[in-house]
Amino acid sequence: MGFRQFNFVMIKMQIMKIEQIYTGCLAQGAYYIESKGEAAIVDPLREVEPYIQKAEKDNARIKYVLETHFHADFVSGHLDLARRTGATIVYGPNANPSFEAQIAGDNEELKLGDITIKALHTPGHTMESTCYLVIDEYGQAKALFSGDTLFIGDVGRPDLAQKVTGLTKEELAGLLYDSLNTRIIPLPDDVVVYPAHGAGSACGKKMSSETTDTLGHQKATNYALRPGMSKEEFIREITTGLVPPPSYFPFNVLLNKMGYERIDQVIRRGERALTPEAFERQADETGALILDTRDPEVFAAGFIPNSINIGIDGNFAPWAGALIPDINQRILLITEEGREEEVIIRLARVGLDHTIGYLSGGFAAWKAAGKEMDSIDSVTATELAVRLKRDFLPILDVRKNSEYHSEHVVGAVNIPLDLINDHLPDVQKDTSAYVHCAGGYRSMIFISILRARGYSHLVNVRGGFKAIKACGEIPVTDYASPTSLL
């Protein structure tokens, strides 16, 4: 988690400070607003200490926790932050949380130091979705915290709230069209847009890698804000090409709405150091998932049998949330030394709160204890090319379907990692196959999951499709040729 501060040119903007706290793993932006010793936090992450420290540094009191909606892709820190600071949690209309919160009316104004924050109800992504407009002491609109209503280059997907509302994605898209055209587009062009997500988030489909922009530039470049677009055109464009959301999204919404365990309790339970013997006993007695967060190549060289690899230095939390189906699953960790708390917190960000301990001394301690070990075969792209010249070899491409259709190895079968359970019957346990993703991160997750289920003939291609392309010896195509599953 890191702070990105944006300094405004206008002198009168010195009455306030706005900082973006962007978390790359989740492609999520939280915000710190401060004026005259009062602060507000917008869409905070689960670990709240950085916000508290920031306010203390500024000699400010956190007055509000502003939530743009009930988030699906992460568990917010609103409850812990309110407990720690006495701040008021604020939602917009239609929110009905199980805890104490201020439900702001549409256009309701909140005072923060010398500035005003106006709640703009913008239903569409969800029915309670609300943007927060910052107005300076001269009555000028300066910043919009747009949540998942408006992204840079995109808008929020309208299909996540269907089950809750009983509305179709088309009906929600129509509401979003109205929200954008009546509440957002009329705002001044120089208003700075601060969205809740950037590229890589599953909450949209065309988000820019930029994490802030002026509204005027978005009006000129964002496909969803195109001048003259009819509601029918808008609905068609934003509902086309949506892929199923990750399975953990509904659970996170529930936690954000109903409440959750304090983060310090989650950390305390997870930071239990276990000897190899105690670790093994816990795995046997509790049925806990053994999660190894080391680098994929390090994992491949040696690991505890039946453990799953999701490397901490990748899109760790979203993949953990997507691939661990039970939010109450007990988890035992193997991590790099000193990164235990980091892993526990990042799991908790997506609601996986039930880490029950970690292997003290890491995998080296397991190996030194003479415990059973396993490994995964890997080949370089060059080695794969040599083998392909000698014989036909099944190749599994575990990238997203869109990546595969853009370009892939001729004859490769596409089984996206997030759809692994749907395709288990299509992979033969007694058939060797070579597995690749884009760079080697997802392929190791894929192989480790299947390895734990008895698939022992899968070989990892080091460096993934990037290495295959660089090798130049394996035929690739830029169109989707017909393939059959194994």
Q: Give the pLDDT confidence of 53-66 residue by residue, as tens digits.
A: 999 999 999 999 99
Of the pLDDT bands very low, low, confident and very high (cuts 50, 70, 90), residue 310 is: very high
CA 288/CA 274 separation, integer angstroms: 14
CA 395/CA 412 separation, integer angstroms: 5
Q: Give the pLDDT confidence of 234-264 residue by residue, as tens digits.
A: 999 999 989 889 989 999 999 999 999 999 9
* Cβ burial 15-48 (10 Å sphere, 16+ → b, else e): bbbbbbbbbebbbbbbbbbbbeebbbbbbbbbbb
Of the pLDDT bands very low, low, confident and very high (cuts 50, 70, 90), residue 483 is: very low
pTM of the model: 0.92
User: What residue spans of 288-357 are helical by DSSP H?
Assistant: 296-301, 316-323, 340-348
Residue 416: strand pairing partners: none
* Cβ burial 107-116 (10 Å sphere, 16+ → b, else e): ebebebbebb
The single-letter DSSP state of residue 183 is I
The boundaries of every CATH 3.40.250.10 domain in the chain are 261-368, 378-477
The boundaries of every CATH 3.60.15.10 domain in the chain are 2-252
For the chain, percent of residues with pLDDT exceeding 70: 95
CATH tag, 378-477: 3.40.250.10
Residue 125 has pLDDT above 80, yes or no: yes
Q: Which amino acid is at 455?
A: Y
**What class does CATH assign to 261-368?**
alpha beta
Q: Give the pLDDT confidence of 296-305 residue by residue, as tens digits.
A: 999 999 999 9
CA 162/CA 98 separation, integer angstroms: 21
Q: Give the pLDDT confidence of 262-293 residue by residue, as tens digits.
A: 999 999 999 999 999 999 999 999 999 999 99
Average pLDDT, the chain: 94
Q: Give the pLDDT confidence of 26-61 residue by residue, as tens digits.
A: 999 999 999 999 999 999 999 999 999 999 999 999
Q: Which amino acid is at 6?
A: F
Fold of 2-252: Metallo-beta-lactamase; Chain A (3.60.15)
Of the pLDDT bands very low, low, confident and very high (cuts 50, 70, 90), residue 2 is: very low
- Among 11, 83, 14, smallest CA distance to 51 is for 83
Give the pLDDT confidence score for residue 113 in this predicted structure.
97
Q: Could you count the other beta carbons within 10 Å of the beta carbon of residue 76?
A: 27
Residue 10 has pLDDT above 90, yes or no: no
Of the pLDDT bands very low, low, confident and very high (cuts 50, 70, 90), residue 484 is: very low
User: What residue spans of 391-440 are helical by DSSP H?
Assistant: 401-406
Contact call for residues 323 and 310 (beta carbons, < 8 A) = yes
Give the pLDDT confidence score for residue 479 in this predicted structure.
58
β-pair type (289-292, 308-309): parallel
Summarize the confidence of residues 395-411 as an average pLDDT.
95
β-pair type (102-103, 88-91): parallel
Residue 4 has pLDDT above 80, yes or no: no
